[in-house]
Amino acid sequence: MREKIATWMGVFLLAGAITLSAQPIGVPLRFDRYYDYDQLVEALKALHEAFPQMTTLDLVGTSEENRAIYAITISNPETGDHLSKPGVYVDGNIHGNEIQAGEVCLYLANMLLTRYGENDKITSLVDENSFYILPSVNVDGRYHFFKDANTPSSNRGLRRPKDDDHDGLFDEDPPDDLDGDGNICDMRKKDPNGNYKSDPYDPRLMVRVDPGEKGEWTLLGREGIDNDGDGRINEDAEGYVDPNRNWGVNWQPNYVQRGAGYYPFSGTGIKAIAEYMLARPNITVVWAFHNSGGMYLRGPSTKNAGEFPQGDIEVYDYLGKNSEKITPGYQYLVIWKDLYSTYGDSNEWANHMLGCYSLVGELFQSESETFAENADQPKPGSPGSGSGKSDARHQRLQFNDHVAMGELYKPWEPYDHPLYGEIEIGGWVKMSSRLPHPFMLQDLVHRNASAVIFSAEQTPRVNLEIFDKDEIGKDLYRIRVRLTNPHALPTMSYMSLKDNLLRKDLLTVSGSSVRVVAGGELQDPYMDKASYKQYKPEIQFIQVPGFGKVEYEFLLSGKGKVRIDYSSVKAVDQSLEINL
C-alpha cells in the first residue's frame, strides 16, 4: 500500500512537471519565463506559422551535438526581396549560460511581427529593413544549461572535448551536483583555522578574518569530488572552446587567447553562422547579446587592431549613447579599452568582414536586485555600513528572501564529502546572478529590443533627386544630382572604404541617344567646382554619408530619355528618369 502511494505520488509529480514544460507555446510569446532549447525552437516555429508571409525560418547549421541552429528572417516581400534592403542581424546566447540573450531575440521578433500594421514605427521599420534574428548561437550550451547542474557562469563553451589538465583524458573531472538539487553551488567546512568567519549581519555570507582573529570556515570551491583520483577537484570540465574566440579576424591560439580552439571556425555551428552572414552582404547593423554587467560595447576588441576611422566612431557614439539612455544604468564602452582584449570575437569579424556597425549588449546588472530605501546610501548601523559602503551582497540576499521568494539562493546544508568529511553546500543557484528573475525579464527584453530598434531606424535611406538641369550648348546639358541620407549610418562604413572591402555604391547615367561627356563629384555648386572622373564618367563610385548628402554633376550630349541609377550593397537601390 505504501509502495503504491509512493508510485502514485511519483506519477503525479512527474505529470505536473511535464504539463508545465509541455505548455503549448502561443503567439504572442510570453516573457515571464525562460525558454529552454526545445521551447525556443518551438517559439520560433510558432512565430513563423503565425506570420508565414513575413518570415522565413532558416536552418543555419547544426552544432557539435547535432542540434539545429535556427534563424528567423523578418521581411515584407511586398517592399522587395530581403537582400535588397538594409539587414539588421541580431543574435544571442553564444555563451551557453547567457540565456536571456535568447529571450531578447525572441522578444524582438515577437514585437516586430505582432505589432506590424498596428504601430507605425514598427510597420515602417519592417517595411524598410530585413531582420535576421538568431536567438541561440550555442544551442548545445543552452540545452545543457537548463538540463544539467551548473553554476550561473558554467557551461559557456562549445561541446568539443578538451583535455584541460593534459593527462590524456578529456573532460574527466567536471564539478558534481553532490546534493542533487540541479545546481553547482559552493562547499565550505567548519575550521577554526580557516580564513573566513560568518558575516555578523547575515550568517549565510562569510567575511575574511582580521589578522590574529580566529576563523570559522574554509572555502573549498565549487561542488565536486576528485572524479579521476588525481588529487585535484573539478580540474577538467566540459570543453573548453569559447565560441566567441573562434572567429577568423584577429584570431590567436590558445596560449594567447584562452578558448580559441585549434583554428578559426573549428566550431561547426560558428562556421555555419559566419557563412549565413556572408551570404547576406546587406547586413548593415549587427547586435550580439550576452550577459552580464549592463554594457553596450563596440570594438576594437584589441589595441593592436587600431582605432576605427573617425566617421565610424561618430556613428557608434550616436548609437551607443542613445542606447545608454534607452536602458538606464547600462554603459557604452570600448571593448579593449574599458573591458579587456578579446581575440577572434564575432564583433570584430562582423566589422571587418561584413563592413557593418556591430554592437555587443551585455545584459543584466545584479545591482538591480535591490532591497533598500536608497541603494546607494545605507543608513549608519545597517548591514554593510561598517565598511563605509553599501554591501550589495546583503541587499541581494534580502532581495532573494523578500522579492524572489527564496528562489535564487540555496541555504547552507550539511553534506558528507568523500574527501573533506563533514562539509556544507550552499550559495547562489544556477538561475541567479547573471539572469533577472522572470518577473524582471519583461523590462530587460523590451529595453534591449528597443536599443536594436533605435539602430535599425538609423540604417541608410538614400533619396535621389535631380536638382538642376541647364542647356549649356546645342544639345549639351548639365544636370546635377543630389543623394541625401537622413539617417545616421552611411551607405558604407568608413572602415569598409579604407579596407576596400565592398563594392562601392554606383551612380550610373545612361540613355540610348545620350552620351555622358563628363561627370564627377560637385564640390561647390556656387563656384562651379566639380572633380570630373577621367574614365567612364557615366559610372561614379560613391558613398553617401550619414546625416548628409553628396552631389554629382554630369555633362550630357544628345536628346531623349536619360536614366539615373543608384545601386548599393547596403541601402535600397534608387532610380529616376528625365527627358532632355
Cell, residue 77: 516581400
For residue 102, the minimal CB distance to Zn ion (Å) is 12
For residue 214, the minimal CB distance to Ca ion (Å) is 29
Residue nearest to Zn ion (CB): 290
290 binds, among Zn ion, Ca ion, none (CB under 5 to 8 A by kind): Zn ion
Q: How far apart are CA 424 and CA 487, in angstroms?
A: 58
Instruction: Report how far Cα 161 is from the mean position of its chain's Cα atoms.
Output: 25
Q: How far apart are the first and last CA of the chain?
A: 99
Name which of 98 and 348 has its Cβ closer to Zn ion: 98
Name which of 163 and 528 has its Cβ closer to Ca ion: 163
Q: Which of 148, 176, 226, 367 binds Ca ion (CB under 5 A)?
A: 226
Q: Which of 64, 177, 324, 553 binds Ca ion (CB under 5 A)?
A: 177
Q: Which of 58, 127, 176, 181 binds Ca ion (CB under 5 A)?
A: 181
Residue 558's DSSP bridge partners are 514
103 binds, among Ca ion, Zn ion, none (CB under 5 to 8 A by kind): none
517 near Ca ion (CB under 5 A): no
Name which of 178 and 555 has its Cβ closer to Ca ion: 178
Q: How far apart are CA 215 and CA 91, in angstroms?
A: 47
For residue 393, the minimal CB distance to Ca ion (Å) is 20
413 near Ca ion (CB under 5 A): no
163 near Ca ion (CB under 5 A): yes
Residues 6+ positions from 265 with CB-CB distance below 8 Å: 246, 247, 248, 271, 274
In terms of C-beta distances under 8 Å and separation of at least 24 residues, what long-range contacts does 388-395 make, across chains too? 391/201, 392/366, 392/367, 393/205, 394/199, 394/201, 394/202, 394/205, 395/369, 395/370, 395/371
Name which of 69 and 569 has its Cβ closer to Zn ion: 69
Cell, residue 340: 579587456
Residues that bind Zn ion (CB under 5 A): 95, 98, 290
Q: How far apart are CA 296 and CA 290, in angstroms?
A: 10
In order of 51, 78, 86, 569, the CA distances from 83 in angstroms are 19, 13, 8, 9
Name which of 98 and 177 has its Cβ closer to Zn ion: 98
Q: Which of 121, 190, 214, 232 binds Ca ion (CB under 5 A)?
A: 232
183 binds, among Zn ion, Ca ion, none (CB under 5 to 8 A by kind): Ca ion
For residue 90, the minimal CB distance to Ca ion (Å) is 31
For residue 222, the minimal CB distance to Ca ion (Å) is 10
165 binds, among Ca ion, Zn ion, none (CB under 5 to 8 A by kind): Ca ion
Subset of 182-201 contacting Ca ion (CB under 5 A):
183
Q: How far apart are CA 333 and CA 300, in angstroms?
A: 11
Q: How far apart are CA 247 and CA 249, in angstroms?
A: 6
H/E run at residue 298: strand 295-298
162 binds, among Ca ion, Zn ion, none (CB under 5 to 8 A by kind): Ca ion
Name which of 323 and 346 has its Cβ closer to Zn ion: 346
H/E run at residue 38: helix 37-50
Cell numbers 547562489 label which residue? 428
Q: Which of 541, 546, 498, 495 shows the shortest CA–CA distance to 354?
A: 495
Q: Which of 127, 171, 176, 573 binds Ca ion (CB under 5 A)?
A: 171
Find the largest Cα–Cα distance for the chain.
Answer: 110
Q: How far apart are CA 211 and CA 225, in angstroms?
A: 31
For residue 244, the minimal CB distance to Zn ion (Å) is 6
Name which of 335 and 530 has its Cβ closer to Zn ion: 335
Q: How many residues bind Ca ion (CB under 5 A)?
A: 17
245 binds, among Zn ion, Ca ion, none (CB under 5 to 8 A by kind): none
- Which residues sit at the interface with Ca ion, rule CB under 5 A? 162-165, 167, 169, 171, 173, 177, 179, 181, 183, 226, 228, 230, 232, 236
